[in-house]
Amino acid sequence: MAQCKCCNRDLDLRFGFCFDCAETESVLEEGVDMYDKEIPKQEGMSTSMSKVQHILKIYNLVLRR
């Protein structure tokens, strides 16, 4: 294990970045997760806010429902 260049956590890396950071980049850039699954728009939220919530869940900063 080594430190991720983005989040500095000690995790298994791919090209210097952890899976969580790579997925976050994909969500921001393309609106899909690492499995090409589109991030669903949550009721009462904009598409952008739904992406933010998804990213926060990746880092366990929001409880998953």
Residue 35 DSSP one-character state: T
Closest by CA position to 58, among listed 36, 30, 26, 15: 26
Average pLDDT, the chain: 92
Which pLDDT band, with edges at 50, 70 and 90, does 1 fall under?
confident
Domain boundaries, the chain: 20-65
What's the pLDDT score for residue 34? 87
What's the pLDDT score for residue 26? 95
Closest by CA position to 28, among listed 56, 60, 64, 3: 56
- Model confidence over 3-59: pLDDT tens digits? 999 999 999 999 999 999 999 999 999 999 989 999 999 999 999 999 999 999 999
- What angle, 0 to 180 degrees and rounded to 10, lies between the N-to-C axes of helices 19-30 and 47-58? 180
On whether the CB atoms of residues 30 and 39 are closer than 8 A, the answer is no
- Between 62 and 7, residue with greater pLDDT: 7
